[in-house]
A and B are shown apart, each in its own frame.
Chain A
C-alpha cells in the first residue's frame, strides 16, 4: 500500500459536494463512498428542483453557507433530468453557479453519455456502476486538470478538447487571436 504524506498532497476536508440522485439507496451509497475520501460536506438532493434550490442558496453568500465545489448528478431523474440541471447551471448569470464543476452519472452506454455530457458542458461523465476508483479519478481530474471554459453562440462549458489528449487528425478550428476574447481571472 502506498503511504501518502497527506499534508503534501492536499485534502478534501474543506470541499462541499452535492450529490443529486432520486434513488435514495444509490445516493446513500455514493455519498458514503465520497465520505471515505475525506470530503468535508456532502449534500444530497433527491431531484433537480431541490438541487437548484440548494445551489442557489449556497451561492447566495449568506454567512451560514459554503459555496458548492462539485456537483455529481444522476442523468435519469423524474421531472428535471441531470442534463437539464446541467443546462440550468451553465446558463446561470452567476459566476459561482455557471462555472460549477459537474460530473454526470449515467446508466446509459458510454458513447452516448460522453457525447451528451460533453456537448452540454459537463466536466466529467461516469457510466454506472460507480466504483471508488472511478469517483476518485473524476474528482482528481477536476481539481488537478481544470479546463478553460469556452463560450460560443451555442455552447458554454469546459473546453471540449482536453489538453492531455493528443489529436492526430487535422485541427478543424482555424481561429486567430482576433476571433477569441480571453478572460484571464486574477486573484
Chain B
C-alpha cells in the first residue's frame, strides 16, 4: 500500500435533496420542515392499525408454529433454513408488539429470537425451551395479557425463565 492509499478523502457534496425540496442549497437558513399535523397523522396510522394486532400476531404465530413442527419432523438439511424463518417470525412478533405497545409479547419475542440464535435443535432440552416460548406466546395472545408488570405476566415470564435456566 503506498502513501496515497492512506490518504483520507473528504467529499463535500452539493445538497441535492434541498434543491429537490425547492430550497436553496447554499442558504443555511433554508430548512425543510414537515408540517406537525402530518406527523400527528402518521402516528394516527399506528393507532388505526392497532386493531389488526391480535389478528396479525395470530397469523405469524401460526406460521412460527408450523415452521417449528417442520423443523422437528423434516429432514436435517432444511433445519437451518427453518430455524432462520423462526428467528424472523419471532422478530416480527417483537416488532408488532413493540409498535402497538404490548410489552409482555415483546419480551417473549426478543427472548425467543435470542434463544434461536444459539439453539442446538438436537438437544431435547433446547426444544423444550422453544416450545415453552411458543406455548406462552399463545397464552399471552389468547388471554390478552398486555403488561409485563401484572401477576400473570410475572408467572409466565418466570415459567419460561425457569425452562431456560434448567435446560440451556
In the complex with contacts A69-B17, A107-B94, A180-B9 CB distance below 8 A? yes
Do residues B43 and A4 form an inter-chain contact, with CB atoms below 8 A? no
Most buried by A among B11, B41, B56: B11
Do residues A185 and B7 form an inter-chain contact, with CB atoms below 8 A? no
In the complex with contacts A9-B32, A23-B92, A129-B99, A148-B42 CB distance below 8 A? no
- Inter-chain contacts of A78 with B (CB < 8 A): 84-85, 88
Secondary structure dominating the interface of B:
helix
Q: What's the Cα separation between A106 and B22 when bound, in Å?
A: 31
Do residues A183 and B20 form an inter-chain contact, with CB atoms below 8 A? no
In the complex with contacts A36-B41, A140-B32, A140-B33, A11-B9 CB distance below 8 A? no
Q: How many residues of A contact B (CB 8 A)?
A: 61
Do residues A107 and B95 form an inter-chain contact, with CB atoms below 8 A? yes
Q: How many residues of B contact A (CB 8 A)?
A: 49
Which of A15, A26, A144, A149 has a CB less than 8 Å from the CB of B31? A144
Q: Mark B25-50, 1 if CB is under 8 A from A, else 0.
A: 10000111111111111110110010
Shortest Cβ distance from residue B112 to the other chain A in the assembled complex, whole angstroms: 13
Q: Mark A1-16, 1 if CB is under 8 A from B, else 0.
A: 1101011011110110
Do residues B31 and A9 form an inter-chain contact, with CB atoms below 8 A? yes
Q: Mark A111-138, 1 if CB is under 8 A from B, else 0.
A: 0000000000000000011111101100
Which of B20, B94, B110 has a CB less than 8 Å from the CB of A14? B20
Q: What's the Cα separation between A186 and B12 when bound, in Å?
A: 9
Shortest Cβ distance from residue B5 to the other chain A in the assembled complex, whole angstroms: 6
Instruction: Decide yes or no whether B96 CB sits under 8 A from chain A.
Output: yes
Do residues A101 and B17 form an inter-chain contact, with CB atoms below 8 A? yes
A residues 1-46 touching B (CB-CB < 8 Å): 1-2, 4, 6-7, 9-12, 14-15, 22-23, 25-26, 29, 32-34, 36-38
Instruction: Decide yes or no whether B164 CB sits under 8 A from chain A.
Output: no
- Inter-chain contacts of A159 with B (CB < 8 A): 10
Instruction: Decide yes or no whether B145 CB sits under 8 A from chain A.
Output: no
9 pairs across A/B with beta carbons < 8 Å?
A: A32-B42, A36-B42, A78-B84, A136-B34, A148-B11, A149-B13, A151-B10, A152-B9, A181-B9
Query: Which A-B residue pairs are the 5 nearest by beta carbons?
Result: A132-B42, A10-B21, A9-B33, A33-B42, A149-B11
Using a CB–CB distance below 8 Å, which chain A residues touch chain B? 1-2, 4, 6-7, 9-12, 14-15, 22-23, 25-26, 29, 32-34, 36-38, 69-70, 76-78, 99, 101, 107, 128-133, 135-136, 139-140, 142-144, 146, 148-153, 159, 175, 179-187
4 additional contacts, CB 8 Å, given A15-B20, A159-B10?
A4-B33, A29-B45, A132-B43, A146-B17
